[in-house]
C-alpha cells in the first residue's frame, strides 16, 4: 500500500474537517460558500503573481513522494516520535506543541538532498525527524545559548524522547512564552534544564595535557612552540567554556581552529593546502549549489553543515569565546567570553555587510572594465536578473528607496557570475586562480544567516566561517583585511 505524502494527508484532513463542520451545524452552507469564494479570489491573485505556482507545488509534492518511496521509514520515524510524545502528554507529562507541517515538509526536502546513503546524510535525516519536537522559540534559545550541539546529539540518537528530556523541552517552551522574548542566562537555564544545557566549566590541567595540540592544529616540528602557546592560551581562559560531560570537544576545537586561522593568515588563499585544510574543517562544498544549504532554522543549518563535513568540535566552541579570542576581522568590540549575544550579533552583521559590499564593488568594477556598462544584461542569466528585479520591487512596494540592480545580489549570485565560463576565462581566472576554491568559499559564505533579514539566530559556525572565508576574500580581491 502506497504511503501518503504529508501534503495530501493535510488536504484530506482539511476537506474532512469542512464536511464534519457542516454536518455538525457549526457552519452554514452559505458561510462555507463565502469562505470558498474568498479562498478562490486569493488563489487567483496568487496565480497572477506566480503563474507557475501549481507546477512548483506538484513538483514539491513529487519530491516528498519520491522521498517516501526511497526512504519509507523517514516519516514513520517522525510519526513514532510524535506518538511517544503524545503518550507522555496524555499522561500529563507536558503539553505537546502543535505540529508544524511546513517546517517538516521543508526539512524533508533538505534531508532528501543529503540522504545519499552516507553516514552524514543519514544522521541529518535523523535530525530532521526529531526537529519537529522543538518549538521554534526553543530552538532559537538553544542557539543563542550555545546549546544546539548537546540537544542535536539527543535528537540524532536512537532513544531520545525520554520523559525527562521531553519534560524539559516543554518547560523551556513554557518559560519562553512567559518571558516574552527575554532569554535567561546560560547558568539559569543549566539549572532549570540540565538535559538541554550541560554545565560549562574550565578544563583541568590534566585534561589540557591529554590533548595533542600540535597534531590537531596541523603544525610542523619547527612550530612545536606553537602548540605550547596554545596550551598557555587555553589555561589562561578563566570563564567556563568546555562542556563538563565532554571537555575534549572544545579543547580540540580550539586547537583545530587556531591551526586553521594561522595557516590562512600565512598562505595565499587559493593554494591547495589552504583549500584542503578549510575543506577538512568546514566541509566539502565542491558539488553544492549555493542555495541548497541555506536554512532559516538554526538547528537545520547546523545539521546541513555537519552533513557536509563541518568539524563538530568547532561547533562545540561557545560563540562569545570565539568572538573574543579569535578576534574576527573588523571586530573591535572588547567582548569577554560572556558577552551579550546581541552585541556580537550586531558586530558580525556589520562585518558580513562590509565584506559583501567590498566583493560586490570588486565584481562590478571588473565586469564594467571587461564587458562594459551593460554587463548585467550580457553576462548574467535572465533568471538571476529577474530575481534581482523582484527583490528591488519589494523595496518599491514597501516605500523604500530602491538601490542599483546589482545591490540585490547575494553570495550565491556572485559564485554564478564568477564561475560562468566566459566571465571566468576572460576576467576572474587571473585573480582567483582556482575556480573550485573560490566557488567553495562563496558557497560557505552563502550559508551564513542573512544579516539584514535576521531569519535565524547567529551561530558559532557563522562566525567561524566569516572569520576564515572573509579573510580569504579580502586577500583575493586585494583589499586590506580590516
pLDDT tens readout for residues 366-420: 999 999 999 999 999 999 999 999 999 999 998 999 999 999 999 989 999 999 9
Which of 300, 325, 350 terminates a domain? The answer is 325
User: Is residue 457 in some structural domain?
Assistant: yes
User: Is residue 80 in some structural domain?
Assistant: yes
Phi then psi dihedrals of residue 263, to 5 deg: -65, -45
Number of helices followed by number of strands (H, E) in the chain: 26, 2
Candidate from 127-131, 273-277, 325-329, 386-390 with smallest mean pLDDT: 325-329
Q: How confident is the model at residue 164 (pLDDT cuts 50, 70, 90)?
A: confident
Q: What pLDDT, in 10s, does the model give residues 132-144?
A: 778 788 888 898 8
Which single residue is written with the C-alpha cell 522543538? 134
Question: Could you tell me which residues come within 8 angstroms of residue 274 by beta carbon, excluding any fewer than 6 positions away?
Answer: 263, 264, 267, 268, 437, 472
Q: What pLDDT, in 10s, does the model give residues 292-309?
A: 677 778 888 888 888 889
User: Is residue 440 in some structural domain?
Assistant: yes
* 173 close to 167: Cβ distance less than 8 angstroms: no
- Across-strand partners of 242? 201
User: Is residue 458 in some structural domain?
Assistant: yes
Say yes or no: 361 and 457 in one domain. yes
pLDDT of residue 53: 60
Say yes or no: 109 and 81 in one domain. yes
Which of 297, 325, 353 terminates a domain? The answer is 325
Say yes or no: 66 and 157 in one domain. yes
Say yes or no: 250 and 345 in one domain. no
Q: What pLDDT, in 10s, does the model give residues 230-248?
A: 999 999 988 899 999 899 9
Say yes or no: 74 and 165 in one domain. yes
Number of domains in the chain: 3
User: Is residue 20 in some structural domain?
Assistant: no
For residue 43, the 8-state DSSP code is: H
Q: What pLDDT, in 10s, does the model give residues 239-278?
A: 899 999 899 999 999 999 999 999 999 999 999 999 999 9
* 328 close to 466: Cβ distance less than 8 angstroms: yes
What residues make up the domain containing 132?
A: 37-183
Largest Cα span, the chain: 84
Say yes or no: 321 and 368 in one domain. no
Considering the entire predicted model, what is its pTM?
0.76
Amino acid at each position: 500500500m502506497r504511503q501518503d505524502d504529508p501534503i495530501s494527508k493535510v488536504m484530506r484532513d482539511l476537506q474532512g474537517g469542512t464536511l464534519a463542520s457542516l454536518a455538525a451545524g457549526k457552519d452554514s452552507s452559505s458561510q462555507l460558500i463565502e469562505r470558498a469564494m474568498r479562498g478562490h479570489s486569493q488563489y487567483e491573485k496568487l496565480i497572477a503573481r506566480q503563474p507557475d505556482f501549481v507546477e512548483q507545488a506538484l513538483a514539491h509534492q513529487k519530491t516528498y513522494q519520491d522521498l517516501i518511496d526511497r526512504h519509507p521509514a523517514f516519516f514513520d520515524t517522525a510519526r513514532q516520535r510524535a506518538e511517544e510524545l503524545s503518550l507522555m502528554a496524555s499522561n500529563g507529562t507536558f503539553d505537546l506543541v502543535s505540529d508544524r507541517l511546513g517546517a517538516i515538509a521543508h526539512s524533508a526536502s533538505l534531508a532528501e538532498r543529503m540522504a545519499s546513503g552516507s553516514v552524514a546524510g543519514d544522521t541529518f535525516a535523523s535530525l530532521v525527524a526529531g526537529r519537529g519536537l522543538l518549538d521554534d522559540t526553543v530552538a532559537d534559545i538553544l542557539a543563542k545559548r550555545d546549546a544546539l550541539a548537546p540537544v542535536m546529539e539527543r535528537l540524532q540518537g536512537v532513544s531520545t524522547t525520554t520523559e525527562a528530556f521531553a519534560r524539559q523541552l516543554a518547560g523551556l517552551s513554557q518559560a519562553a512564552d512567559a518571558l516574552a522574548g527575554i532569554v535567561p542566562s546560560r547558568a539559569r537555564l543549566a539549572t532549570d534544564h540540565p538535559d538541554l544545557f550541560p554545565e560549562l566549566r574550565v578544563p583541568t590541567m590534566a585534561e589540557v595535557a591529554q590533548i595533542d595540540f600540535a597534531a590537531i592544529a596541523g603544525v610542523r616540528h619547527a612550530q612545536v612552540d606553537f602548540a605550547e602557546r596554545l596550551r598557555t592560551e587555553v589555561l589562561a581562559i578563566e570563564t567556563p567554556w568546555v562542556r563538563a560531560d565532554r571537555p575534549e570537544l572544545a579543547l580540540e576545537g580550539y586547537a583545530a581552529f587556531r591551526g586553521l586561522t594561522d595557516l590562512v593568515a600565512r598562505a595565499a588563499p587559493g593554494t591547495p593546502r589552504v583549500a584542503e585544510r578549510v575543506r577538512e574543517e568546514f566541509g566539502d562544498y565542491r558539488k553544492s549549489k549555493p542555495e541548497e544549504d541555506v536554512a532559516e532554522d538554526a538547528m537545520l543549518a547546523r545539521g546541513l553543515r555537519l552533513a557536509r563535513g563541518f568539524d563538530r568540535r568547532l561547533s562545540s566552541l561557545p560563540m562569545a569565546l570565539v568572538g573574543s579570542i579569535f578576534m574576527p576581522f573588523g571586530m573591535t568590540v572588547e567582548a569577554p567570553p560572556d558577552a551579550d549575544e546581541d552585541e556580537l550579533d550586531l558586530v558580525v552583521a556589520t562585518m558580513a555587510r562590509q565584506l559583501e559590499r567590498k566583493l560586490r564593488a570588486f565584481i562590478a568594477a571588473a565586469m564594467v572594465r571587461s564587458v562594459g556598462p551593460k554587463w548585467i544584461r550580457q553576462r548574467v542569466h535572465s533568471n538571476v536578473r529577474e530575481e534581482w528585479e523582484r527583490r528591488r520591487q519589494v523595496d518599491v512596494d514597501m516605500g523604500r528607496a530602491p538601490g542599483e540592480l546589482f545591490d540585490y545580489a547575494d553570495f550565491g549570485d556572485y559564485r554564478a557570475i564568477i564561475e560562468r565560463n566566459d566571465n571566468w576565462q576572460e576576467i576572474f581566472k587571473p585573480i582567483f586562480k582556482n575556480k573550485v576554491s573560490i566557488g567553495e568559499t562563496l558557497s560557505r559564505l552563502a550559508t551564513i544567516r542573512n544579516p539584514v533579514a535576521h531569519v535565524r539566530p547567529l551561530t558559532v559556525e557563522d562566525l567561524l566561517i566569516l572569520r576564515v572565508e572573509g579573510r580569504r576574500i579580502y586577500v583575493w580581491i586585494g583589499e586590506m583585511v580590516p
